[in-house]
Structure 1
Amino acid sequence: MPRKKLLLLEDDLGLAQLVRWHFEREDFDVTQTASGEEGLILAEELEPDVMILDWMLEELSGLEVCRRLRRDAPTANLPIIMLTARGEEADRVRGLETGADDYVTKPFSPKELVARVNAVLRRVRPALSGATLRYHDLELDTANYKVRRSGGPISLGPTEFKVLRHLLEHQGRVFSRERLLDAVWGQDAVIEIRTVDVQIRRLRLALNAHGGKELIRTVRAAGYALDAGD
C-alpha cells in the first residue's frame, strides 16, 4: 500500500516538528511549510492525500489558503483539517463553511489529530485503507485488481486499471493530461501526451460496453474527471 502524503502548513516550528513526528510514525510522507503561498504551490505540485492547515499563518491566512484551494479544480476536493487556537463556535463554523473537512482546536492531542486525519481519509480516500472503491454502479477492488459495473465484470488492461483507480481515488477532481501522465506512468516516463487520450478512450469503451451512464467527463482545455454530472 502506498504511503499517505500529508502536506502540513504550520508556522510554529516546534508544533510542526511534533505533528510531523507523530504522522511519520504512522507511515505518512510529510511535507511541511510555514508559508501559505508556498503551501498553495505544493498542494498542486505534490497532490497530497490530505492537508493540515493552521488558521493563523503569516502572509496568507489559513482561511484564504482554504478558499483558494477550493476554487482551484486540481485541489477542490483535497481533504483539509484546520488547526486553530480559536475555539468559539462562530470561528469553527466559519472554518467549515470556507471548505475545511474538520476542525481541531489548540492545544490538542497529536494522537487525536492522527485519528481525525485517518477518519477523513477513510471517508474520501478509501483506497488508502485497502478498500473497494465505488462510484455509482462501478466498483474497483484495490486488493484483487477486479472491476465490476452493475455487478458484471469489466476487463481492463494494467494501464487502464491504474487510470481508473487514480480517478476513483480523486472523484470529481479534474486532471490535466500532464498530471495523469505523471500519476499513472511516472514523472520520468517518456510517453506522448496523446497516450492519455488513447487510454481514456479505451477505458470509456470498456466501462460502457453494456450501456450505463458516462462516468468520465472531458473538461475542455483542462483534462478529465470521474464525474457523472450529478
Structure 2
Amino acid sequence: MSSSRSGPVAGAGVGRHLLIVDDDDRIRELLKEYLAREGYRVTGAAHAAAARRLMELIEFDLVVLDVMMPGESGLELTTWVRGKAQLSRTPVLLLTARGEAADRIDGLSRGADDYMSKPFDPKELSLRIDAILRRTGVKPIMPREIRLGTAMFDLERLELTRDGVPMRLTEAEAQLLKTLALHAHAPVERMDLSPDTADITGRAVDVQVTRLRRKLEADPKNPRYLQTVRGVGYMLAPD
C-alpha cells in the first residue's frame, strides 16, 4: 500500500467517524494517519471482537473491514452488522487480499457497500469512502453554537459564555471543547483530544477537562455535560 504526504482535503471528512478493523497494525495505523489528514476521525480495532464492542458503544458513519482476520472474519462481522437493527444502515467497505469475483460477490451479498483488494492506494480508498457517504446520507451540518445548560459555546469564535458572561478559555481548552463539540454525544478517546502533545499518559487532557468543568458545570464534581467515559475518554452531551 502506498501513501503520500499530501496535505488534507479541507473539510472532506469533518463530522464523520470511521472504524478501521484490521489485524495488521501497520495498515491500521497508516489508514488512521492518512484518513485523519483528510478530516475524518478514525478509531481502530485489531479484531472483530474489539470492533463489536466499539460498535455497540459508538455510532460510526462507516466501517472499513479486513476480510481475512484470525477468528471471526470480516465477512462474518458484516453479517452481524447487517443483523443488528441499530447498525443495519451503517455503511461497510471490505478490504482483502482475495480479489476473486466469488469473494467480491460473497461480500456484497452479505450487505457490504463496496469492496477493495489489497494492495490499494489510500487516496482511492478515501474517494470510495466519500462516495459511499454521499450515497448513503447527507453530510451532517455542524452547528455554530452548542448549549450546555446556562453556558453557550461558539465553535467558530471559540468563545464560551455562561449566563451571558464571557468565560476565559486557554487555547488548549478551547480546542479540546471544540473537538468534543464536533463529536457531541459520542465518546472521544483521551489521546485523540491531545494529538500534538508529548504527554502519552493523557493527564494534560484530564487537567484541562477539570478546568473546563469548573467553567461549564453547575456541579463540577457531578458533571452533566462534560462526561467521563470509562476506558475511553470523554464525551460532551449538550442540550
Bin of the TM-score, shorter chain as denominator length? 0.5 to 0.7
- Structure 2: runs of 5 or more not aligned: 1-10, 145-183, 187-222, 227-239
- The answer on 1:94 being equivalent to 2:102 is no
Contact 1:49 1:125 in 2 (8 A): no
User: Residue type of the partner of 1:74?
Assistant: Q
TM-score by length of structure 2 reads 0.54
Structure 2 matches for 1:81-120, cutoff 5 A?
Answer: 81-120=93-132
**% of aligned pairs identical?**
38
Question: What residue identity is the alignment partner of 2:15?
Answer: R
- Partner of 1:126 in structure 2? 138
How far off is 1:143 after superposition? 8.5
Q: Tell me which amino acid in the other structure corresponds to 2:27.
A: L
For residues 145-171 of structure 1, the C-alpha deviation after alignment (integer angstroms, 9 at most, x for no partner) is xxxxxxxxxxxxxxxxxxxxxxxxxxx
Residue 23 of structure 2: aligned partner:
11
- Structure 1 counterpart of 2:201: none
Match of 1:206 in 2: none
1:111–1:182 distance in 2 versus 1, CA, 3 Å: closer
Give the alignment partner of residue 22 of structure 1, picking from 34, 47, 50: 34
User: 4+ residue runs of structure 1 moved beyond 4 angstroms?
Assistant: 187-190
- The equivalent of 1:134 in structure 2 is none
Cα deviation, residue 75, structure 1 = 0.5
Where 1:7 maps in the other structure, the secondary structure is strand
Q: CA deviation at 1:3?
A: 2.5
Separation in structure 2 between the aligned mates of residue 37 and residue 98 of structure 1, nearest angstrom = 19
Report the alpha carbon displacement of residue 188 of structure 1 after superposing the two structures with TM.
Answer: 4.2
Going from structure 1 to structure 2, the CA distance change for 1:110 and 1:188 (only over 3 Å counts) comes to farther
- RMSD value, Cα: 2.4
Q: Distance in 1 between matches of 2:224 and 2:78?
A: 31
Report the 3-state secondary structure (helix = DSSP H, G, I; strand = E; otherwise coil) of the residue aligned with 2:69. Answer: coil
Determine which structure has the larger helix proportion and give its number: 1
How many pairs does the alignment contain? 139
TM-score normalised per structure 1:
0.56
